[in-house]
Amino acid sequence: MFLDLESYSGYQTYLLEQPARLVVDLYGVKGDPPPMLEVDSPVLSSIRASRFDDQTLRVVCDLKAPTGYQVLPAPGGGIAIDFNYQLYSLALEDQDGSLLLSIEMSAAPEVQATYLESPLRLVLDFQDTTLLTRSFDTPVNLGPIVRWRVGQHSPAVTRVVLELAEPLASLPVEERAAGSFVLPFFPGTAAEAAAYLRAQQHAQEEPEELGAELLPTGEGVLSGLVIAVDPGHGGSDPGTIGYQGTFEKDVNLAISLYLGELLSEAGAKVIYTRDTDVYVSIFQRPEIAMEAGADLFVSVHANSHIERGRARGTETLYRAGDPASELFARIVQEELVKAITLIDRRIWGREDLAVFNGSNIPAVLVEVGFLDHPDEEVLLRASGFQKVAAQGIFNGIVRFCLENKR
Amino acid sequence: MKRERILAGLLLAALAVLAVRAIVGWPAHNGDAVPVALDVTEPFYPVYFSSRDTGLLEPEFHQGSATIEQVLADLLAGPKLEHLAGVIPADTVVLGYRLSGETLYVSFSHHLVTNHPGGSTGEILTVYAIVNSLTGIDGVERVQILVENQVVDTLAGHLNLQRALRKDYSALGSQVL
Ligand SMILES: [Zn+2]
């Protein structure tokens, strides 16, 4: 709020409750008071001015709730009053395995995150914010969070401190509804969270680029194609197992289902060799694809080295001696690495993989990352990363189909 | 026969690398005599392990004439060079073998499957360490891996093990060659 005054000799402010209002008495101001102003703001509802005495103009700001403020005399005359945003409530939530902080606030928060070690903690400073709930300090047991403290750190900053057992990073705040926001957490360090965000951005930019080029008629770019999506392992065969106990079969299925959704949206007919946690023999999988008349075969896996934790990165295997499969692998690998930004290991022609044996359509087996590497396991088990991986593979399929003119 | 010549060339290059390393002096594993001071005028044979430098297969050369029993024992015993890692899962034993024509059938205990970490990379390293090592023996062209005396579909869910496999040098690190 800015009070445009030609001259004044001083001011005094009072924050009053019930109803919440800020009173500003301006001394040495003459003239008639301006009319009342209705305001559509997250903080203010109206501004009234009246003459208190012949030397003093009283300005009353009706607030939606009591809040912090700063009075800033402007160098060119007049007074600016900055009201803090109001933080009504905070809650930590676990939504389908993803941790987030849900925030009820008068406007989108500006959060400054600081990660501190010994003890491990994540400090979230809400800028220009007044906390309207009571401060608290309480133990919790939510993923890596063992305790959290919330309080008004300074007149303009509300501080949230999360004590951690393992690294945790904050992701950008998202708006869910008017006045309702969430701050998602990423299970990893800030650097890993940044890599994850970059990957997500890639994935979001890519389809737009392609979409503009590919969909001149609005028709599905993959319509008419039958694509076999093969989530590796399943049922009694868990595949490789990560340090945190992540089963490869679950990662493979999650990425495959996301991939299938994207392919369907683009008009393809999707054939899953499995779409639940069941055992399907590796010899049956290409048969399922061939019986359905599939044009392409994509097997989705997560890798492991014989020496656990040694290797990392992405590789795509293809049917050796088949130029179409090799081109398919090259493009899928390129797009997937672009999307998830893991190390680009190689594409590798193999004639001994069972899923390549039973068909002659372009066939690849994608090893998205190494589940036996602790850093990559963190990524592979995160649904956000799984979606980005699916998007990367999808982009590769679309590009291959275009470059091959079907 | 061109392929044979290329392989011989590669082998000599590998020997040159080993010779240099031998001069530098490699610490021995378990205090064993390290067979890096290889006498190339006497017989020697390669046993394949996983390189900690490249993550790929790399041969360790042993002095003597390769026999099926000796190569299998070498594979199970693991590498002597410190920069190499074993490729056979813990507790695995060989239950028996049979040479039929040029195809060698080797039966391993179930630990080969149940103690294997998995992954196509892990599976390819284990399988081709076995196949490449055993096909270095005269008269062995193909190797079929059996588990508990049975033909199996696969070791870790990627490779087709229903048939015998030939040697594959694509799992070898180019750094070795
Ligand atoms: Zn797998």
Residue pLDDT, tens place only, A47-90: 888 888 888 888 888 887 777 777 777 766 777 787 888 888 89
Domains and CATH numbers, chain A: 2-83 (2.60.40.3500), 86-188 (2.60.40.3500), 206-403 (3.40.630.40)
Q: How confident is the model at residue B6 (pLDDT cuts 50, 70, 90)?
A: very low
Quick check: B16 pLDDT over 50? no
The per-residue pLDDT for A143 is: 85
pTM: 0.60
**Alpha-carbon span A52 to A68, nearest angstrom:** 24
B157 to A232: CB separation less than 8 angstroms, yes or no: yes
**Alpha-carbon span A249 to A237, nearest angstrom:** 8
Q: A166 CA to chain B: closest CA distance, Å?
A: 25
Q: How confident is the model at residue B23 (pLDDT cuts 50, 70, 90)?
A: very low
Tell me the residue length of chain A: 406
A240 to B160: CB separation less than 8 angstroms, yes or no: no
Q: A283 CA to chain B: closest CA distance, Å?
A: 8
Domain regions of chain B by residue span:
1-33, 36-166
DSSP class per residue in A307-353: STTS--SEEEEEETT-HHHHHHHHHHHHHHHHHH---EEEEEEES-B
**Alpha-carbon span A346 to B120, nearest angstrom:** 13
**ipTM score:** 0.79
The per-residue pLDDT for B29 is: 40
| Phi, psi at A55, each rounded to 5° | -105, -15
Structure tokens at B13: 């290059």
**Alpha-carbon span A228 to B108, nearest angstrom:** 34
The per-residue pLDDT for A372 is: 95
The per-residue pLDDT for A205 is: 56
B160 to A357: CB separation less than 8 angstroms, yes or no: yes
Would you call B11 helix, strand, or coil by DSSP?
A: helix
> Scanning every residue of chain A, which has its alpha carbon at the shortest distance from the alpha carbon of B163?
A352
Q: Residue A152 pairs with which residues in a beta bridge?
A: A158
Question: How remote is the CA of residue B78 from the centroid of ligand 1, in Å?
Answer: 25
Task: Mark the residues whose beta carbon lies below 5 A from ion ligand 1.
Answer: A 232, 239, 301
Chain segment B106-159, per-residue pLDDT in tens? 999 999 999 999 999 999 999 999 999 999 999 999 999 999 999 999 999 999
Quick check: B20 pLDDT over 50? no
Mutation site, B57, B151, B160, interface A, largest A CB count within 10 A: B160
Nearest to A306 among B85, B157, B160 (CB): B85
- Mean pLDDT within B150-173: 92
The per-residue pLDDT for A21 is: 83
Structure tokens at B62: 């042993």
**Mean pLDDT (chain B, rounded):** 81
The per-residue pLDDT for B36 is: 54
Q: Which of A369, A348, A374, A364 is nearest to A396 (CA)?
A: A364
The per-residue pLDDT for B177 is: 26
Q: For residue A189, what are the CA distances in angstroms to A122, A164, A171, A203, B35? A: 10, 12, 11, 21, 45
Quick check: B65 pLDDT over 50? yes
The per-residue pLDDT for A210 is: 41
Beta strands A69-73 and A111-116: pairing type?
unpaired
Q: Which of residues 257-316 of A touch B (CB under 8 A)?
A: 281-283, 301-308, 310-311, 315
- Residues ≥6 apart with Cβ < 8 Å to A71: A11, A13, A24, A79, A80, A81
Q: Between helices B68-77 and B120-134, what is the axis angle to 10°?
A: 150
**Alpha-carbon span A295 to A78, nearest angstrom:** 72
* Type of residue at A293: G
pLDDT means over runs of 10, chain A (406 residues): 75 77 81 80 81 83 78 74 83 86 88 84 89 83 88 84 90 88 87 77 54 42 94 96 94 97 95 96 96 97 94 95 96 95 93 92 97 94 94 95 76
Report which DSSP code applies to A247. B
